[in-house]
Chain A
Protein backbone atom coordinates (compact mmCIF):
# COMPACT_ATOMS: atom_id res chain seq x y z
CA UNK A 1 0.00 0.00 0.00
CA UNK A 2 1.19 3.47 -0.88
CA UNK A 3 0.33 5.74 2.06
CA UNK A 4 0.84 9.08 0.25
CA UNK A 5 2.59 10.89 3.13
CA UNK A 6 1.94 14.43 1.85
CA UNK A 7 -1.67 13.81 0.86
CA UNK A 8 -0.87 14.66 -2.76
CA UNK A 9 -3.80 14.84 -5.19
CA UNK A 10 -3.09 15.45 -8.86
CA UNK A 11 -5.55 15.86 -11.70
CA UNK A 12 -4.43 16.58 -15.26
CA UNK A 13 -5.96 18.39 -18.20
CA UNK A 14 -4.33 17.15 -21.36
CA UNK A 15 -4.77 18.82 -24.73
CA UNK A 16 -4.25 16.45 -27.61
CA UNK A 17 -3.94 18.01 -31.04
CA UNK A 18 -5.55 16.01 -33.85
CA UNK A 19 -2.62 16.81 -36.12
CA UNK A 20 -3.14 13.82 -38.40
CA UNK A 21 -6.28 15.43 -39.81
CA UNK A 22 -5.68 17.20 -43.10
CA UNK A 23 -7.52 20.34 -42.04
CA UNK A 24 -8.32 22.40 -38.96
CA UNK A 25 -11.51 21.81 -36.98
CA UNK A 26 -13.72 24.62 -38.33
CA UNK A 27 -12.06 25.66 -41.59
CA UNK A 28 -10.27 24.14 -44.58
CA UNK A 29 -6.79 25.41 -43.65
CA UNK A 30 -4.08 22.74 -43.91
CA UNK A 31 -2.56 21.41 -40.68
CA UNK A 32 0.99 20.91 -42.00
CA UNK A 33 2.29 24.28 -40.79
CA UNK A 34 5.04 23.00 -38.54
CA UNK A 35 7.96 24.03 -40.73
CA UNK A 36 6.31 27.04 -42.34
CA UNK A 37 6.53 30.77 -41.56
CA UNK A 38 4.13 32.25 -38.99
CA UNK A 39 0.62 33.24 -40.11
CA UNK A 40 0.88 31.39 -43.41
CA UNK A 41 -1.82 28.75 -42.76
CA UNK A 42 -4.73 31.02 -41.93
CA UNK A 43 -8.08 32.16 -43.29
CA UNK A 44 -10.88 34.47 -42.11
CA UNK A 45 -12.36 31.72 -39.91
CA UNK A 46 -9.25 30.89 -37.87
CA UNK A 47 -8.25 34.57 -37.75
CA UNK A 48 -11.71 35.40 -36.39
CA UNK A 49 -12.43 38.03 -39.06
CA UNK A 50 -15.95 39.48 -38.97
CA UNK A 51 -18.52 37.65 -41.04
CA UNK A 52 -16.69 34.35 -41.19
CA UNK A 53 -18.51 31.17 -40.15
CA UNK A 54 -17.15 27.90 -38.77
CA UNK A 55 -18.20 24.49 -40.19
CA UNK A 56 -17.13 21.40 -38.29
CA UNK A 57 -14.76 18.80 -39.74
CA UNK A 58 -16.55 15.42 -39.71
CA UNK A 59 -13.30 13.47 -39.27
CA UNK A 60 -12.53 15.48 -36.14
CA UNK A 61 -15.83 14.33 -34.60
CA UNK A 62 -15.01 10.73 -35.50
CA UNK A 63 -11.54 11.07 -33.96
CA UNK A 64 -13.08 12.52 -30.77
CA UNK A 65 -15.40 9.51 -30.54
CA UNK A 66 -12.48 7.13 -31.09
CA UNK A 67 -10.58 8.76 -28.23
CA UNK A 68 -13.64 8.71 -25.98
CA UNK A 69 -14.16 5.01 -26.61
CA UNK A 70 -10.49 4.15 -26.12
CA UNK A 71 -10.65 5.90 -22.73
CA UNK A 72 -13.71 3.84 -21.75
CA UNK A 73 -15.96 6.91 -21.81
CA UNK A 74 -19.65 7.12 -22.52
CA UNK A 75 -20.11 8.87 -25.87
CA UNK A 76 -23.13 11.16 -25.87
CA UNK A 77 -25.86 11.14 -28.48
CA UNK A 78 -26.34 14.89 -28.32
CA UNK A 79 -23.34 17.18 -28.18
CA UNK A 80 -22.81 20.86 -28.89
CA UNK A 81 -20.39 23.76 -28.70
CA UNK A 82 -20.09 26.80 -26.45
CA UNK A 83 -18.22 30.07 -26.46
CA UNK A 84 -15.75 30.51 -23.64
CA UNK A 85 -15.15 34.24 -23.43
CA UNK A 86 -11.84 35.76 -22.42
CA UNK A 87 -9.51 38.36 -23.80
CA UNK A 88 -6.08 37.10 -24.53
CA UNK A 89 -3.98 37.66 -27.67
CA UNK A 90 -3.94 33.95 -28.58
CA UNK A 91 -7.69 34.15 -29.28
CA UNK A 92 -8.43 36.39 -32.25
CA UNK A 93 -12.21 36.26 -31.69
CA UNK A 94 -12.21 37.09 -27.97
CA UNK A 95 -13.63 33.64 -27.26
CA UNK A 96 -12.70 30.02 -27.76
CA UNK A 97 -15.12 27.54 -29.29
CA UNK A 98 -15.18 24.65 -26.85
CA UNK A 99 -17.64 22.38 -25.08
CA UNK A 100 -19.30 22.89 -21.71
CA UNK A 101 -22.62 21.16 -21.05
CA UNK A 102 -23.06 18.14 -23.36
CA UNK A 103 -19.38 17.25 -23.94
CA UNK A 104 -18.94 14.55 -26.56
CA UNK A 105 -17.72 11.97 -24.03
CA UNK A 106 -17.33 11.58 -20.28
CA UNK A 107 -17.02 9.15 -17.40
CA UNK A 108 -14.15 6.88 -18.49
CA UNK A 109 -10.92 5.57 -17.01
CA UNK A 110 -7.34 4.60 -17.82
CA UNK A 111 -5.34 1.92 -16.04
CA UNK A 112 -1.78 2.86 -15.16
CA UNK A 113 1.03 1.40 -13.11
CA UNK A 114 0.69 3.19 -9.78
CA UNK A 115 3.00 3.44 -6.77
CA UNK A 116 1.52 0.19 -5.40
CA UNK A 117 0.30 -1.78 -8.41
CA UNK A 118 -2.42 -1.05 -10.93
CA UNK A 119 -4.17 2.28 -10.51
CA UNK A 120 -7.42 3.30 -12.12
CA UNK A 121 -7.39 6.97 -13.12
CA UNK A 122 -10.87 8.31 -13.79
CA UNK A 123 -11.53 10.39 -16.89
CA UNK A 124 -14.02 13.15 -16.04
CA UNK A 125 -14.56 14.11 -19.67
CA UNK A 126 -12.89 14.27 -23.07
CA UNK A 127 -14.28 17.13 -25.12
CA UNK A 128 -13.61 18.92 -28.40
CA UNK A 129 -12.34 22.46 -28.81
CA UNK A 130 -10.24 24.67 -31.05
CA UNK A 131 -6.57 25.36 -30.41
CA UNK A 132 -5.63 29.00 -29.74
CA UNK A 133 -2.72 30.65 -31.55
CA UNK A 134 0.86 30.29 -30.44
CA UNK A 135 2.40 33.08 -28.40
CA UNK A 136 6.08 33.86 -28.52
CA UNK A 137 7.41 35.92 -25.65
CA UNK A 138 10.63 37.79 -26.01
CA UNK A 139 12.68 36.62 -23.05
CA UNK A 140 10.81 35.04 -20.15
CA UNK A 141 7.05 35.46 -19.70
CA UNK A 142 7.37 37.64 -16.60
CA UNK A 143 9.88 40.03 -18.18
CA UNK A 144 8.98 40.42 -21.86
CA UNK A 145 7.30 43.62 -23.05
CA UNK A 146 5.61 42.23 -26.13
CA UNK A 147 3.88 39.13 -27.27
CA UNK A 148 4.29 37.89 -30.83
CA UNK A 149 1.42 35.82 -32.20
CA UNK A 150 1.32 33.10 -34.82
CA UNK A 151 -2.20 31.96 -35.75
CA UNK A 152 -1.11 28.93 -37.79
CA UNK A 153 -2.08 26.81 -34.79
CA UNK A 154 -5.32 28.68 -34.26
CA UNK A 155 -8.29 26.44 -35.04
CA UNK A 156 -6.43 23.13 -34.91
CA UNK A 157 -8.72 20.42 -33.55
CA UNK A 158 -8.02 19.64 -29.91
CA UNK A 159 -9.37 17.05 -27.55
CA UNK A 160 -9.17 18.14 -23.93
CA UNK A 161 -8.96 15.15 -21.64
CA UNK A 162 -9.73 15.98 -18.01
CA UNK A 163 -8.81 13.40 -15.40
CA UNK A 164 -10.19 12.95 -11.91
CA UNK A 165 -7.70 13.95 -9.15
CA UNK A 166 -6.64 10.32 -8.76
CA UNK A 167 -2.87 10.56 -9.05
CA UNK A 168 -0.86 10.62 -5.85
CA UNK A 169 2.65 11.42 -7.04
CA UNK A 170 4.45 13.17 -9.90
CA UNK A 171 5.61 9.73 -11.04
CA UNK A 172 2.03 8.53 -11.38
CA UNK A 173 1.21 11.70 -13.32
CA UNK A 174 4.02 10.98 -15.75
CA UNK A 175 2.93 7.38 -16.19
CA UNK A 176 -0.61 8.52 -16.86
CA UNK A 177 0.67 10.91 -19.55
CA UNK A 178 2.80 8.18 -21.13
CA UNK A 179 -0.16 5.82 -21.14
CA UNK A 180 -2.49 8.42 -22.63
CA UNK A 181 -0.06 9.23 -25.42
CA UNK A 182 0.44 5.54 -26.04
CA UNK A 183 -3.30 4.84 -26.35
CA UNK A 184 -3.99 7.83 -28.58
CA UNK A 185 -1.08 7.05 -30.87
CA UNK A 186 -2.60 3.62 -31.45
CA UNK A 187 -5.74 5.34 -32.74
CA UNK A 188 -3.77 7.00 -35.52
CA UNK A 189 -5.29 10.43 -34.89
CA UNK A 190 -2.19 12.28 -33.75
CA UNK A 191 1.58 12.31 -34.08
CA UNK A 192 3.02 12.80 -30.62
CA UNK A 193 6.39 13.84 -31.99
CA UNK A 194 5.19 17.09 -33.52
CA UNK A 195 5.69 20.28 -31.55
CA UNK A 196 2.68 21.13 -29.38
CA UNK A 197 0.98 17.77 -30.04
CA UNK A 198 0.24 17.17 -26.37
CA UNK A 199 0.06 19.94 -23.79
CA UNK A 200 -0.66 19.57 -20.12
CA UNK A 201 -2.14 21.68 -17.33
CA UNK A 202 -1.77 20.13 -13.89
CA UNK A 203 -3.87 20.64 -10.78
CA UNK A 204 -2.19 19.73 -7.54
CA UNK A 205 -3.01 20.04 -3.86
CA UNK A 206 -1.47 18.60 -0.71
CA UNK A 207 -2.93 17.80 2.70
CA UNK A 208 -6.46 18.60 1.56
CA UNK A 209 -5.52 22.24 0.86
CA UNK A 210 -6.38 24.47 -2.07
CA UNK A 211 -5.09 23.46 -5.46
CA UNK A 212 -2.71 25.25 -7.75
CA UNK A 213 -3.12 24.95 -11.50
CA UNK A 214 0.15 24.78 -13.39
CA UNK A 215 0.15 25.84 -17.02
CA UNK A 216 2.69 25.75 -19.83
CA UNK A 217 3.95 22.22 -19.34
CA UNK A 218 5.22 20.93 -22.66
CA UNK A 219 6.60 17.46 -21.92
CA UNK A 220 5.94 14.48 -19.70
CA UNK A 221 9.27 15.01 -17.99
CA UNK A 222 8.34 18.68 -17.56
CA UNK A 223 5.09 17.66 -15.87
CA UNK A 224 6.94 15.49 -13.39
CA UNK A 225 9.45 18.26 -12.61
CA UNK A 226 6.80 20.97 -12.28
CA UNK A 227 4.80 18.79 -9.88
CA UNK A 228 7.86 17.90 -7.81
CA UNK A 229 8.66 21.60 -7.50
CA UNK A 230 5.06 22.40 -6.59
CA UNK A 231 4.93 19.82 -3.76
CA UNK A 232 8.06 21.33 -2.22
CA UNK A 233 6.68 24.86 -2.62
CA UNK A 234 3.32 24.02 -1.04
CA UNK A 235 5.00 22.15 1.82
CA UNK A 236 7.19 25.18 2.50
CA UNK A 237 4.14 27.46 2.58
CA UNK A 238 2.50 25.18 5.16
CA UNK A 239 5.68 24.82 7.20
CA UNK A 240 5.90 28.60 7.55
CA UNK A 241 2.37 28.62 8.85
CA UNK A 242 0.92 29.98 5.61
CA UNK A 243 -2.04 28.87 3.53
CA UNK A 244 -1.79 27.59 -0.04
CA UNK A 245 -4.05 29.79 -2.18
CA UNK A 246 -5.93 28.64 -5.24
CA UNK A 247 -4.19 30.18 -8.22
CA UNK A 248 -2.76 29.65 -11.66
CA UNK A 249 0.98 29.20 -11.91
CA UNK A 250 3.22 29.20 -14.95
CA UNK A 251 5.94 26.56 -15.32
CA UNK A 252 9.26 28.04 -16.37
CA UNK A 253 10.87 25.07 -18.07
CA UNK A 254 14.38 26.53 -18.17
CA UNK A 255 14.46 27.41 -14.48
CA UNK A 256 12.33 24.41 -13.41
CA UNK A 257 10.17 26.54 -11.13
CA UNK A 258 6.53 27.65 -11.15
CA UNK A 259 5.57 31.34 -11.04
CA UNK A 260 2.34 32.84 -9.79
CA UNK A 261 0.21 34.37 -12.55
CA UNK A 262 -2.33 35.92 -10.20
CA UNK A 263 -4.62 38.41 -11.92
CA UNK A 264 -7.92 40.07 -11.18
CA UNK A 265 -9.49 37.44 -13.41
CA UNK A 266 -8.48 34.67 -11.06
CA UNK A 267 -12.08 33.93 -10.25
CA UNK A 268 -12.80 32.63 -13.74
CA UNK A 269 -15.63 34.35 -15.45
CA UNK A 270 -15.85 32.84 -18.89
CA UNK A 271 -19.56 33.56 -19.48
CA UNK A 272 -20.13 30.36 -21.45
CA UNK A 273 -23.06 30.35 -23.83
CA UNK A 274 -24.09 28.09 -26.74
CA UNK A 275 -22.17 28.83 -29.94
CA UNK A 276 -24.83 30.23 -32.29
CA UNK A 277 -22.72 29.62 -35.42
CA UNK A 278 -22.51 25.85 -34.99
CA UNK A 279 -25.57 23.64 -34.83
CA UNK A 280 -25.77 20.73 -32.36
CA UNK A 281 -24.56 17.26 -33.30
CA UNK A 282 -26.88 14.30 -33.01
CA UNK A 283 -24.59 11.34 -33.23
CA UNK A 284 -26.47 8.37 -31.84
CA UNK A 285 -25.33 5.34 -33.74
CA UNK A 286 -21.89 6.74 -34.50
CA UNK A 287 -20.13 5.31 -31.45
CA UNK A 288 -21.15 1.65 -31.97
CA UNK A 289 -20.07 1.83 -35.62
CA UNK A 290 -16.75 3.47 -34.77
CA UNK A 291 -16.16 0.97 -31.97
CA UNK A 292 -16.07 -1.78 -34.62
CA UNK A 293 -13.17 -0.04 -36.33
CA UNK A 294 -11.06 0.57 -33.20
CA UNK A 295 -7.63 -1.02 -33.44
CA UNK A 296 -6.26 -3.33 -30.79
CA UNK A 297 -5.21 -1.09 -27.89
CA UNK A 298 -1.94 -1.32 -25.93
CA UNK A 299 -3.18 -3.40 -22.98
CA UNK A 300 -4.92 -5.92 -25.23
CA UNK A 301 -1.87 -6.17 -27.47
CA UNK A 302 0.39 -6.67 -24.46
CA UNK A 303 -1.71 -9.60 -23.28
CA UNK A 304 -1.80 -11.08 -26.76
CA UNK A 305 1.99 -10.81 -27.11
CA UNK A 306 2.46 -12.80 -23.89
CA UNK A 307 0.02 -15.49 -25.02
CA UNK A 308 0.89 -15.70 -28.68
CA UNK A 309 4.66 -15.37 -28.52
CA UNK A 310 5.32 -16.69 -25.01
CA UNK A 311 7.40 -13.65 -24.07
CA UNK A 312 7.80 -12.15 -20.60
CA UNK A 313 5.19 -9.60 -19.53
CA UNK A 314 7.88 -6.97 -18.96
CA UNK A 315 9.00 -7.38 -22.55
CA UNK A 316 5.43 -7.30 -23.85
CA UNK A 317 4.82 -4.12 -21.89
CA UNK A 318 7.94 -2.42 -23.24
CA UNK A 319 7.19 -3.53 -26.80
CA UNK A 320 3.61 -2.23 -26.74
CA UNK A 321 4.52 1.08 -25.12
CA UNK A 322 4.98 2.56 -28.59
CA UNK A 323 2.88 1.57 -31.56
CA UNK A 324 5.80 1.63 -33.99
CA UNK A 325 7.89 -0.56 -31.73
CA UNK A 326 5.04 -3.08 -31.39
CA UNK A 327 4.69 -3.30 -35.17
CA UNK A 328 8.46 -3.61 -35.57
CA UNK A 329 8.55 -6.48 -33.08
CA UNK A 330 5.61 -8.28 -34.58
CA UNK A 331 7.09 -8.14 -38.09
CA UNK A 332 10.39 -9.48 -36.80
CA UNK A 333 8.78 -12.16 -34.60
CA UNK A 334 6.98 -13.63 -37.62
CA UNK A 335 10.32 -14.55 -39.18
CA UNK A 336 12.53 -15.20 -36.15
CA UNK A 337 12.33 -16.94 -32.80
CA UNK A 338 9.88 -14.61 -30.95
CA UNK A 339 11.37 -14.91 -27.47
CA UNK A 340 14.90 -14.19 -28.63
CA UNK A 341 13.68 -11.37 -30.82
CA UNK A 342 11.94 -9.83 -27.76
CA UNK A 343 15.14 -9.99 -25.71
CA UNK A 344 17.23 -8.38 -28.43
CA UNK A 345 14.74 -5.67 -29.29
CA UNK A 346 13.86 -4.75 -25.68
CA UNK A 347 17.11 -5.27 -23.86
CA UNK A 348 19.62 -4.30 -26.52
CA UNK A 349 18.17 -2.34 -29.42
CA UNK A 350 15.83 -0.20 -27.27
CA UNK A 351 18.69 0.65 -24.91
CA UNK A 352 20.99 1.64 -27.76
CA UNK A 353 18.21 3.76 -29.31
CA UNK A 354 17.45 5.51 -26.01
CA UNK A 355 21.13 6.17 -25.44
CA UNK A 356 21.26 7.98 -28.78
CA UNK A 357 17.88 9.65 -28.34
CA UNK A 358 16.59 7.88 -31.47
CA UNK A 359 13.36 6.04 -32.10
CA UNK A 360 12.67 2.75 -33.82
CA UNK A 361 12.43 4.43 -37.24
CA UNK A 362 16.22 4.65 -37.15
CA UNK A 363 16.65 0.88 -37.40
CA UNK A 364 15.62 -1.41 -40.24
CA UNK A 365 13.60 -4.55 -39.61
CA UNK A 366 15.71 -6.43 -42.16
CA UNK A 367 18.83 -5.59 -40.19
CA UNK A 368 17.31 -6.91 -36.96
CA UNK A 369 16.33 -10.08 -38.79
CA UNK A 370 19.80 -10.67 -40.22
CA UNK A 371 21.43 -10.05 -36.83
CA UNK A 372 19.08 -12.61 -35.25
CA UNK A 373 19.72 -15.05 -38.08
CA UNK A 374 23.50 -14.70 -37.76
CA UNK A 375 23.21 -15.29 -34.01
CA UNK A 376 20.99 -18.33 -34.46
CA UNK A 377 23.46 -19.78 -36.97
CA UNK A 378 26.30 -19.11 -34.52
CA UNK A 379 28.03 -16.99 -37.17
CA UNK A 380 28.59 -14.12 -34.73
CA UNK A 381 28.92 -13.80 -30.98
CA UNK A 382 26.51 -11.88 -28.75
CA UNK A 383 29.16 -9.19 -28.33
CA UNK A 384 29.51 -9.12 -32.10
CA UNK A 385 25.77 -8.65 -32.50
CA UNK A 386 25.78 -5.69 -30.11
CA UNK A 387 28.71 -4.24 -32.04
CA UNK A 388 26.79 -4.59 -35.31
CA UNK A 389 23.70 -2.86 -33.87
CA UNK A 390 25.80 0.01 -32.53
CA UNK A 391 27.64 0.45 -35.80
CA UNK A 392 24.42 0.39 -37.82
CA UNK A 393 23.06 3.19 -35.64
CA UNK A 394 26.23 5.27 -35.65
CA UNK A 395 27.55 4.80 -39.17
CA UNK A 396 24.97 2.86 -41.15
CA UNK A 397 25.94 0.16 -43.64
CA UNK A 398 24.78 -3.44 -43.59
CA UNK A 399 25.42 -6.22 -41.05
CA UNK A 400 27.44 -8.18 -43.63
CA UNK A 401 29.74 -5.24 -44.37
CA UNK A 402 30.25 -4.54 -40.68
CA UNK A 403 31.09 -8.18 -39.98
CA UNK A 404 33.67 -8.11 -42.77
CA UNK A 405 35.21 -4.77 -41.81
CA UNK A 406 35.41 -5.50 -38.10
CA UNK A 407 36.27 -9.18 -38.41
CA UNK A 408 33.29 -10.21 -36.32
CA UNK A 409 32.87 -13.67 -37.81
CA UNK A 410 32.87 -16.17 -35.02
CA UNK A 411 36.12 -18.06 -34.60
CA UNK A 412 35.39 -21.65 -33.96
CA UNK A 413 36.73 -25.09 -33.28
CA UNK A 414 40.36 -25.58 -34.20
CA UNK A 415 41.39 -21.98 -33.91
CA UNK A 416 39.95 -21.65 -30.42
CA UNK A 417 41.70 -24.93 -29.45
CA UNK A 418 45.05 -23.79 -30.80
CA UNK A 419 44.76 -20.36 -29.25
CA UNK A 420 43.81 -21.90 -25.90
CA UNK A 421 46.87 -24.17 -25.96
CA UNK A 422 49.10 -21.21 -26.87
CA UNK A 423 47.60 -19.09 -24.10
CA UNK A 424 48.23 -21.85 -21.55
CA UNK A 425 51.85 -22.22 -22.71
CA UNK A 426 52.50 -18.48 -22.62
CA UNK A 427 50.83 -17.76 -19.26
CA UNK A 428 52.26 -20.34 -16.89
CA UNK A 429 51.83 -18.08 -13.86
CA UNK A 430 48.07 -17.75 -14.45
CA UNK A 431 47.83 -21.50 -15.01
CA UNK A 432 49.60 -22.15 -11.71
CA UNK A 433 47.36 -19.66 -9.89
CA UNK A 434 44.25 -21.24 -11.34
CA UNK A 435 45.35 -24.69 -10.38
CA UNK A 436 46.11 -23.37 -6.87
CA UNK A 437 42.42 -22.45 -6.62
CA UNK A 438 42.38 -18.83 -7.79
CA UNK A 439 39.31 -18.89 -10.01
CA UNK A 440 40.01 -15.37 -11.17
CA UNK A 441 43.23 -16.36 -12.89
CA UNK A 442 41.09 -17.97 -15.55
CA UNK A 443 39.93 -14.54 -16.68
CA UNK A 444 43.37 -13.51 -17.82
CA UNK A 445 43.65 -16.75 -19.83
CA UNK A 446 40.28 -16.11 -21.44
CA UNK A 447 41.46 -12.59 -22.20
CA UNK A 448 44.59 -13.92 -23.85
CA UNK A 449 42.58 -16.24 -26.11
CA UNK A 450 40.17 -13.43 -27.03
CA UNK A 451 43.17 -11.30 -27.98
CA UNK A 452 44.57 -14.03 -30.20
CA UNK A 453 41.22 -14.49 -31.94
CA UNK A 454 40.77 -10.70 -32.20
CA UNK A 455 37.58 -10.93 -30.19
CA UNK A 456 36.06 -13.31 -32.67
CA UNK A 457 35.60 -16.21 -30.29
CA UNK A 458 32.65 -16.66 -28.00
CA UNK A 459 33.89 -15.96 -24.48
CA UNK A 460 31.75 -18.65 -22.91
CA UNK A 461 33.06 -21.31 -25.31
CA UNK A 462 36.65 -20.19 -24.67
CA UNK A 463 36.10 -20.51 -20.93
CA UNK A 464 34.75 -24.04 -21.36
CA UNK A 465 37.64 -25.09 -23.60
CA UNK A 466 40.19 -23.71 -21.13
CA UNK A 467 38.56 -25.37 -18.13
CA UNK A 468 38.58 -28.63 -20.08
CA UNK A 469 42.27 -28.37 -20.86
CA UNK A 470 43.31 -27.32 -17.37
CA UNK A 471 41.04 -29.71 -15.49
Chain B
Protein backbone atom coordinates (compact mmCIF):
# COMPACT_ATOMS: atom_id res chain seq x y z
CA UNK B 1 0.00 0.00 0.00
CA UNK B 2 1.31 3.40 -0.97
CA UNK B 3 0.70 5.87 1.81
CA UNK B 4 0.63 9.61 1.62
CA UNK B 5 4.07 9.56 3.31
CA UNK B 6 5.47 7.36 0.52
CA UNK B 7 4.05 9.77 -2.02
CA UNK B 8 5.74 12.69 -0.34
CA UNK B 9 9.06 10.82 -0.49
CA UNK B 10 8.65 9.85 -4.15
CA UNK B 11 7.70 13.44 -4.90
CA UNK B 12 10.85 14.69 -3.18
CA UNK B 13 13.05 12.28 -5.13
CA UNK B 14 11.58 13.63 -8.38
CA UNK B 15 11.75 17.18 -7.06
CA UNK B 16 7.97 17.55 -7.41
CA UNK B 17 5.95 19.50 -4.90
CA UNK B 18 2.71 17.67 -4.18
CA UNK B 19 -0.29 19.36 -2.59
CA UNK B 20 -2.58 17.50 -0.19
CA UNK B 21 -5.10 17.31 -3.02
CA UNK B 22 -2.49 15.73 -5.34
CA UNK B 23 -1.64 13.14 -2.75
CA UNK B 24 -5.26 12.21 -2.23
CA UNK B 25 -5.64 11.81 -5.96
CA UNK B 26 -2.43 9.89 -6.70
CA UNK B 27 -2.41 7.28 -3.93
CA UNK B 28 -5.48 5.38 -5.18
CA UNK B 29 -4.12 5.58 -8.75
CA UNK B 30 -0.69 4.20 -7.94
CA UNK B 31 -1.82 1.26 -5.83
CA UNK B 32 -3.47 -0.64 -8.70
CA UNK B 33 -0.22 -0.22 -10.69
CA UNK B 34 1.69 -1.92 -7.92
CA UNK B 35 -0.91 -4.66 -7.69
CA UNK B 36 -0.59 -5.19 -11.42
CA UNK B 37 3.17 -5.70 -11.12
CA UNK B 38 2.71 -8.08 -8.21
CA UNK B 39 1.12 -10.50 -10.65
CA UNK B 40 4.70 -11.12 -11.83
CA UNK B 41 5.48 -12.64 -8.44
CA UNK B 42 3.09 -15.46 -9.22
CA UNK B 43 5.12 -16.71 -12.19
CA UNK B 44 7.13 -19.84 -11.39
CA UNK B 45 10.80 -18.98 -12.11
CA UNK B 46 12.26 -22.12 -10.57
CA UNK B 47 15.39 -23.10 -12.48
CA UNK B 48 15.25 -20.10 -14.85
CA UNK B 49 18.48 -18.07 -15.28
CA UNK B 50 17.92 -14.45 -14.26
CA UNK B 51 17.89 -12.06 -17.21
CA UNK B 52 20.51 -9.36 -16.95
CA UNK B 53 19.20 -7.34 -19.81
CA UNK B 54 16.22 -7.21 -22.15
CA UNK B 55 18.41 -7.54 -25.24
CA UNK B 56 20.34 -10.71 -26.04
CA UNK B 57 23.27 -8.62 -27.25
CA UNK B 58 26.64 -8.03 -25.66
CA UNK B 59 29.92 -6.23 -26.38
CA UNK B 60 28.93 -3.26 -28.50
CA UNK B 61 31.97 -0.98 -28.50
CA UNK B 62 33.21 2.28 -29.91
CA UNK B 63 36.89 2.92 -30.72
CA UNK B 64 38.58 5.73 -28.79
CA UNK B 65 38.42 8.20 -31.69
CA UNK B 66 37.20 11.77 -31.47
CA UNK B 67 33.99 12.29 -33.38
CA UNK B 68 33.05 15.92 -33.83
CA UNK B 69 30.13 15.23 -36.15
CA UNK B 70 27.76 15.31 -33.19
CA UNK B 71 29.54 18.02 -31.17
CA UNK B 72 27.69 21.15 -30.20
CA UNK B 73 29.36 24.50 -29.75
CA UNK B 74 28.72 26.52 -26.63
CA UNK B 75 25.91 28.56 -28.16
CA UNK B 76 24.09 25.47 -29.45
CA UNK B 77 24.63 23.65 -26.16
CA UNK B 78 23.02 26.48 -24.23
CA UNK B 79 20.26 27.19 -26.75
CA UNK B 80 17.55 25.33 -24.79
CA UNK B 81 18.59 26.66 -21.40
CA UNK B 82 16.15 29.08 -19.77
CA UNK B 83 18.96 30.50 -17.63
CA UNK B 84 22.61 30.91 -18.51
CA UNK B 85 25.56 33.03 -17.46
CA UNK B 86 29.07 33.44 -18.95
CA UNK B 87 28.77 30.24 -20.98
CA UNK B 88 27.45 28.21 -18.05
CA UNK B 89 24.04 26.73 -17.47
CA UNK B 90 22.51 28.45 -14.47
CA UNK B 91 20.39 26.58 -11.95
CA UNK B 92 19.02 27.24 -8.49
CA UNK B 93 21.34 26.09 -5.74
CA UNK B 94 20.49 22.66 -4.42
CA UNK B 95 21.71 21.03 -1.27
Chain A residues in the interface with B (C-beta under 8 A):
21-23, 27-30, 37-45, 47, 55-61, 78, 80, 85-89, 102, 136-137, 141-142, 144-151, 261, 263-265, 269, 271, 274, 276, 278-283
Contacts and interface: CB of A to CB of B under 8 A. Distances in A.
**Residues of A contacting B: mostly:** loop
B38 interface: no
Contacts of A41: 71
B35 interface: no
Interface of B: 9, 12-15, 52-55, 57-74, 77-78, 85-95
A285 B73 CA distance: 40
B50 to A, nearest CB: 10
Nearest to A47: B77
B55 A87 contact: no
A85 B15 CA distance: 12
Nearest to B83: A146
A56 B60 contact: yes
A37 B74 CA distance: 8
Contacts, number: 144
Contacts of B71: 28-29, 41-43
A69 B95 CA distance: 37
A42 B58 contact: no
A55 B72 contact: no
Contacts of A263: 95
Contacts of B9: 264, 269
A129 to B, nearest CB: 17
16 contacts: A22-B66, A23-B62, A38-B74, A38-B88, A39-B78, A39-B88, A58-B64, A102-B52, A146-B85, A146-B92, A146-B93, A148-B85, A150-B88, A264-B12, A274-B52, A283-B59
A147 B81 CA distance: 14
B70 A281 contact: no
A280 B94 contact: no
B60 A28 contact: no
Given A38-B88, A39-B88, A56 B70 contact: no
Given A39-B88, A146-B90, A282 B59 contact: yes
B64 A22 contact: yes
A56 B94 CA distance: 30
Nearest to B63: A58
A85 to B, nearest CB: 8
Contacts of A42: 71-72, 77
Contact of B92 (A23, A38, A147): A147
A87 B13 contact: yes
Given A56-B60, A59-B64, A146-B93, A269 B73 contact: no
Contacts of B54: 276
Contacts of A39: 74, 77-78, 87-89
B62 to A, nearest CB: 4
